[in-house]
Amino acid sequence: MVPRSGAVCSCSHAPSRPRHSGSFVDQRRTSLHTTKEIFNIRSPCLVPDVADRLVATVDDLEIRVETGAGHGAYHEDADYEAAGCSVVERDAAFGTDIVTKVAPPSNDEIERLGDGQVLIGLMTPLGRPALAQALAERGVTTLAMELVPRISRAQKLDALSAMSSIGGYRAAILAAERLPKFFPLLTTAAGTVRPARVLVLGAGVAGLQAIATAKRLGAKVFGYDIREPTREEVESLGASFVELEVDIDADEDESGYAEEVEKEKQERQPELLKPHIADADVVISTALIPGKPAPLLVNEAALEAMDPGSVIVDLAAPNGGNCALTETGTEVVAHDVQILSPTNLPAEMPVHASELYAKTVVAMIEEGLEEDTFAPDFDDQIFADACLTRDGEVRNDRVRRLLEPVEEEKG
């Protein structure tokens, strides 16, 4: 069964059953449930084609899908039934062994989860450490898709990269729609129109996809990142790499993100970027620091220097934004510049977003299968890193540190 907002694997037990320490052994049947997502998320965490694959792979597996779970991505209940799933009402969704979700669970959903259940989904662990604590207190084994290590054999489980790619693509499309100019070079009987200049700040997965999409739309594209090794990737897409007058190079952390730079260097970035921002018709900003506010890259002085009608798409808005005047989830016009701060662009492409996400979730389940039983090896790097909570404890070190009380300075 697959609900829109989550999926649950269970053996028809109530949430208050004994703890299984993350493995489902000595059970005659394993069940998985997908619930209907809330928070305006249209993408179900399981789609019929992928569910059909899982049913064919795992013997004696029951998949339950909450009625209406797939409607946002144009999947009818009958499509799930044809794939071998059972369509059920919401009350039947949380009595399974494994629950899969797209968004983090609501307080009501956490209360429905019980000791020994496995929850798989995007948990925003570094942004919401209290959620991890609540899940640990319920005895839930939580596998956070954001924490999947970036190693070659885990690529098929990389939900974060898949969603970031969609975000970058949609950001470029949104910018092209809102810019009151053509993106490509045009030669007409009335004269020649120069291509729009697009500056992408941050060359991670989202930034590189934004660069590639803007380039395909015909814009003249520039990319910037504090990690020097990204130059080759930016230039391979046909964009120009922006170099600042002063070296502000940073290393990557183990997740592929730029490590936080020294405060003095960070404070210089906006001023050094100002002339490049002023020359751009569009700025797409994607720079993030895991577990911390997004770095400021576009200050108000840079906004004032941009041409009227210019567009900024701030993909870092959920983390505070890279632009000084970003208001998360709200469109702002300041100094005649449009500042867009979308919070969930993948939700605007529910068909492909749900398809890609479902494949990563099923890959996670398949990775943990042992003789048709979901029994992940928590000594394996994939599950060791992805494990957020287990056996009543928060297992991720970074999240644990965020939960530690701040010690008052003495004296």
| Region class of 84: left (phi > 0), else alpha (psi between -120 and 50), else beta | left
Q: In angstroms, what CA-CA distances link 131 with 67, 222, 296, 387, 400?
A: 27, 38, 27, 14, 12
Q: Are 64 and 8 contacting, i.e. CB atoms less than 8 angstroms apart?
A: yes
Alpha-carbon distance 401 to 85, whole Å? 41
Question: Cα–Cα distance between 302 and 26 in angstroms, integer?
Answer: 63
- Helix/strand/coil for 219: coil
User: Is 356:166 a contact under the CB 8 Å cutoff?
Assistant: yes
DSSP state of 322: S
Active site residues: 150, 155, 158, 161, 257
* DSSP SS3 for 89: coil
Specify the pairing of strand 387-390 against strand 393-394: antiparallel
